[in-house]
């Protein structure tokens, strides 16, 4: 019996993270289908103003009435320093000094609603833009994975970064579903994780030597496994991707957390993630969707208590510093085609749901609330300096939609906006899924109602 020798792990930087290169599952040749060939159902016209998307997720659910849809009442701490920063827009300037100062760059949406009030389902919903279904959890990809899948044709030989990078996510991440593993997120951790893609300068020559040994060894024996076996092919292919990143002369700079940057971005896990996001997108080496998880906003108790490790002040300050610096830097970064990085990147920032408005609860906090929440948008043609939509006096319900559809916005609309900005036809569907049920990029329903899902047009005009 003779076996082909395994392909030597390639060190060329071509075709890294190439979709279609290897099979899907970590299992060996299980009858999984490869659901390619997404088909268009009814043509929509995507806007196509963005090349990239930066998605900042406020895990736990940010209190909208203490931030972007501020509602003053007897509960409001006096040191919030509430000020009007634009017509109809009040902000707690003490919590968001920089965003308030640079408000011209942001638009606030105040007319979002969601369906889920339970964390994991809400996290799932926001990232997948599909309601949670136990029957389909394994096959529904996240929005980021769809963006990665859709961008595969645009990949250049010089691209060495994965199309979908995420940061500081834990177990609760929505991955590639029925799409290939290479569409899934590559998660980096800036909160004490090990950024193993950077080979320290003084280990470089040894690392190169080790890689050459590994290649030599793989030529000497096929080992104990049939070389064409899927997991072996995958392991070699993923290693080539990893090496493509590690051996790039650009990667130390991209994954560098410079001390002065760190300080400027707030010296937090979130700030560090923002620095990396800036570098990763700014490199223009194949990364299309960058998601940052920022938590934990689930302030059921003592929301204003500064003695608590996490409270509305600390979380807001981290978000304010990191995001403001990031946007400022992106606005200063000129890209190859002459546009700034900010002009080419749609920035979306939102949480799991809103929080109960009005007086604080008995625990001096706020619980989960699905009937109103806020989001921040910037970049890629978003017209900033204003708030779209409005809620009632306490912030409990949407009273003014603020866009052409004249209804509350839902997470499906947010996803459609991302797809539209990135030039992706959101009416596409994939018919060949493992369960046999059609996967629509966007389902034209939300919760229990049919919905004329649309991009949120008013952001751009």
Task: Report the site for other proteins in 174-233 (rule: CB under 8 A).
Answer: 181, 184, 186-187, 189, 192-194, 196-199, 206-207, 209-210, 213-214, 216-218, 220-221, 223-226, 229-232
Query: Closest separation between CB of residue 193 and other proteins, Å?
Result: 4
Lateral strand order in the sheet of 345-351: 186-188, 164-167, 289-294, 52-58, 345-351, 373-378, 106-112, 386-388
Give whichever of 19 and 418 is closer to other proteins, judged by the CB atom.
19
Q: Are 96 and 320 in contact (CB under 8 A)?
A: yes
Query: Closest separation between CB of residue 382 and other proteins, Å?
Result: 30
Sequence length of the chain is 461
Helix axes 119-128, 143-150, angle to 10 degrees: 20
Q: Are 369 and 356 in contact (CB under 8 A)?
A: yes
Pick from 132, 166, 415, 411: nearest CA to 293: 166
* Residue range at the interface with other proteins (CB under 8 A); choices 239-247, 313-321, 322-330, 424-432: 239-247
Asked whether position 4 contacts other proteins by CB under 8 A, the answer is no
Among 41, 90, 119, 407, binds other proteins (CB under 8 A): 119
Asked whether position 236 contacts other proteins by CB under 8 A, the answer is yes
Cα dihedral 238/126/373/61 (nearest 10): -60
Pairing of strands 398-400, 445-446: unpaired
Q: Are 61 and 117 in contact (CB under 8 A)?
A: no
Give whichever of 81 and 247 is closer to other proteins, judged by the CB atom.
247
* Residue range at the interface with other proteins (CB under 8 A); choices 77-85, 290-298, 341-349, 375-383: 290-298
Rg (CA), the chain: 23
Per-residue interface string for the shown chain with other proteins, residues 345-384, x marking contact by CB under 8 A? ----------------------x-----------------
Residue 410 in tokens: 């839902």
Q: How far is CA 313 from CA 61, 193, 349, 432, in A?
A: 15, 25, 18, 48
Using CB under 8 A as the binding rule, the residues of this chain from 243 to 272 that contact other proteins are 243, 245-246
Residue 331 in tokens: 């606005």
Among 18, 41, 90, 121, binds other proteins (CB under 8 A): 121
Among 10, 77, 115, 118, binds other proteins (CB under 8 A): 118
Query: Closest separation between CB of residue 292 and other proteins, Å?
Result: 14
* CA pair distance 302, 208, nearest whole angstrom: 53
Give whichever of 27 and 404 is closer to other proteins, judged by the CB atom.
27
Total residues at the site for other proteins (CB under 8 A)? 78
Using CB under 8 A as the binding rule, the residues of this chain from 13 to 42 that contact other proteins are 17, 25-31
Asked whether position 298 contacts other proteins by CB under 8 A, the answer is yes
Q: Are 326 and 32 in contact (CB under 8 A)?
A: no
Asked whether position 115 contacts other proteins by CB under 8 A, the answer is no
Asked whether position 242 contacts other proteins by CB under 8 A, the answer is yes
Q: Are 389 and 110 in contact (CB under 8 A)?
A: yes
Using CB under 8 A as the binding rule, the residues of this chain from 125 to 184 that contact other proteins are 132, 134-139, 162, 170-172, 181, 184
């Amino acid at each position: 019996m003779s076996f082909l020798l395994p392909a030597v792990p390639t060190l060329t930087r071509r075709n890294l993270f190439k979709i279609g290169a290897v099979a899907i599952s970590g299992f060996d040749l299980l009858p999984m289908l490869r659901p390619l060939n997404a088909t268009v159902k009814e043509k929509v016209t995507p806007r196509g103003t963005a090349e990239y998307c930066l998605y900042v997720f406020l895990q736990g659910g940010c209190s909208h009435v203490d931030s972007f849809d501020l509602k003053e009442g007897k509960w409001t701490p006096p040191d919030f320093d509430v000020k009007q920063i634009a017509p109809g827009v009040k902000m707690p300037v003490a919590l968001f000094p920089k965003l308030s100062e640079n408000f011209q760059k942001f638009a606030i949406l105040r007319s979002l609603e969601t369906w889920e009030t339970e964390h994991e389902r809400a996290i799932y919903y926001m990232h997948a833009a599909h309601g949670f279904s136990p029957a389909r959890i394994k096959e529904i990809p996240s929005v980021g994975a769809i963006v990665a899948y859709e961008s595969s044709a645009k990949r250049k030989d010089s691209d060495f970064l994965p199309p979908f990078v995420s940061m500081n996510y834990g177990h609760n991440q929505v991955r590639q579903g029925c799409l290939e593993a290479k569409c899934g997120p590559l998660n980096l951790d800036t909160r004490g994780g090990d950024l193993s893609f950077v080979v320290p300068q003084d280990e470089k020559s040894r690392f190169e030597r080790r890689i050459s040994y590994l290649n030599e060894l793989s030529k000497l024996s096929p080992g104990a496994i049939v070389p064409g076996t899927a997991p072996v092919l995958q392991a070699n292919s993923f290693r080539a991707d990893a090496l493509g990143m590690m051996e790039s002369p650009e990667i130390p700079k991209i994954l560098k957390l410079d001390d002065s940057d760190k300080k400027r971005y707030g010296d937090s896990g979130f700030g560090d993630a923002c620095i990396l996001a800036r570098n990763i997108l700014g490199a223009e080496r194949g990364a299309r969707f960058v998601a940052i998880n920022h938590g934990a906003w689930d302030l059921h108790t003592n929301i204003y208590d500064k003695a608590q490790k996490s409270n509305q002040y600390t979380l807001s300050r981290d978000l304010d510093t990191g995001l403001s610096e990031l946007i400022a830097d992106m606005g200063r970064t000129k890209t190859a085609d002459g546009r700034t990085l900010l002009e080419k990147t749609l920035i979306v920032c939102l949480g799991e749901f809103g929080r109960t408005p009005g007086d604080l609860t008995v625990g001096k906090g706020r619980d989960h609330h699905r009937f109103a929440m806020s989001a921040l948008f910037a970049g890629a043609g978003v017209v900033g300096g204003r708030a779209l939509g409005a809620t009632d006096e306490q912030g409990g319900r949407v009273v003014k939609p603020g866009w052409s559809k004249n209804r509350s916005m839902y997470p499906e609309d947010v996803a459609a906006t991302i797809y539209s900005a990135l030039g992706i036809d959101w009416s596409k569907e994939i018919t060949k899924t493992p369960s046999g049920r059609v996967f629509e990029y966007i389902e034209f329903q939300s919760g229990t109602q049919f919905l004329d899902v649309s991009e949120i047009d008013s952001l751009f005009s």
